[in-house]
Amino acid sequence: MHAIQQLYFQRKSQSTKPFNARGKGVTRCELCQLAQKHCICLLRQKKQTHCGFLLLMHDCEVLKPSNTGRLIADVITDTYAFQWRRTEVSEELINLINHSDYQPFVIFPHQYATDDRKVYHHLPEKKPNKKPLFILLDGSWREAKKMFRKSPYLSTLPVLSLSLDVLSASGYVSTYSLRKAEQGFQLSTAEVASLLLSEAGEYKAAEHLSLWQQLFEYRYRKSVCQPNHLDPAIESVYLDFVNTTDKNKAPK
C-alpha cells in the first residue's frame, strides 16, 4: 500500500461511525475507492521521477472516495501523506521537510503569501543533489486556506505559485468534474500535480497522471451510476500510453 492508502486505513480505524459519502451504498474496493466491479488497481503503474510530493490532507478529505490526491500516490513513487493538524505535528513530517535529499516548496497562490515570504512563479534551478518536494494542501478551498494560514512549520518555506489566474486567462480549464470548484480556475489536486510534473520537466509522468485521473473519473461515474459524459476510449488510451512507455524503457 502507498502512503495515502495507509493514511486512509489509519483514519478509518479511528472512526466511530461510517463515512456516508455520495454513493455510500456502493461496495467499493478499499484501495482505489471504486466499485469492486470497476476496480482499477490492476491497471496501476508507478513512475520514478526526480521530484517528490508531500500531501497534507485535511481530516475531511482522507476518507472521501472522490479524493484525487490518492491518484498521485498511485503513480508517483516518492509520494508522502500526512493528516493535517494545526498543533500536533509529527516528527516524521518535520524530518521529511528538512531532509537533505529535498528542496521543499509549498504550492499555493502567491496572493496569500506574506510580503516577506519567498515566492516563485516558476520552479527555480535545482540545488545540487536535491529534488523538488512539492507540498500540496489537500482539502476544499476553504480548508486549504486555513491550512496555509495555520501551519507555522510551513511558514519559512518558499511558495511556488502556478498562477492559476494566468492559466485561466490563457484558456486552461479543469477537466475534473466529480466536484464543483468554487472558482473556475481551481483545479483538482491531481491536476495541480500534473502541472508541477510538467514544470519539473517530467512530461511523461505528467501525461501518465493526467490519463490516470481521467480513467479514475470515468470508472468512478460508472461506479455510482452518474451520467457519464467522458469518452470510454480513455481506457484504451491509458493502456496504450503505459504499454508504449514500457516498451520505450525496455533494453534493446
Residues 150-164: what's their mean pLDDT? 90
Whether residue 171 has pLDDT greater than 70 = no
Residue 32 domain flag: no
Q: Which amino acid is at 91?
A: E
Note the pLDDT of residue 248. Answer: 66
Q: What is the pLDDT of residues 5-53, one digit of tens each?
A: 999 999 999 887 766 666 677 899 999 999 999 999 999 999 999 999 9
User: What does pTM read for this prediction?
Assistant: 0.90
Examine residue 13 and state whether it is found in any structural domain, yes or no: no
Is 107 inside a domain boundary?
A: yes
Most confident range (mean pLDDT) of 31-40, 120-129, 174-183, 230-239 is 31-40
Residue-averaged pLDDT of the chain: 88
Joined grid coordinates for residue 73:
500516490
On whether residue 37 sits in a domain, the answer given is no
Q: Where are the alpha helices (DSSP H) in the chain?
A: 3-14, 59-62, 69-75, 91-97, 141-149, 164-169, 189-199, 203-223, 234-249
Residue 33 lies in a domain: no
The pLDDT value recorded for residue 252 is 41
Q: Which residues pair with 76 in a beta bridge?
A: 47
Say what the pLDDT of residue 209 is.
Answer: 97
- CA–chain centroid gap for 182, Å, is 18
Residue that has been written with the C-alpha cell 479511528 in this structure: 14
Would residue 12 count as lying in a domain? no
Contact yes or no for 139/179 (Cβ under 8 A): no
Domain encompassing residue 71: 3-7+47-245
Q: Is residue 17 part of a domain?
A: no
Domain count, the chain: 1
pLDDT tens by residue, 102-134: 999 999 998 899 999 999 999 999 889 999 999
Q: What's at 51, amino acid-wise?
A: C
Q: What is the dihedral of CA 210, 216, 219, 222, to 10 degrees?
A: -100
Is 136 a domain residue? yes
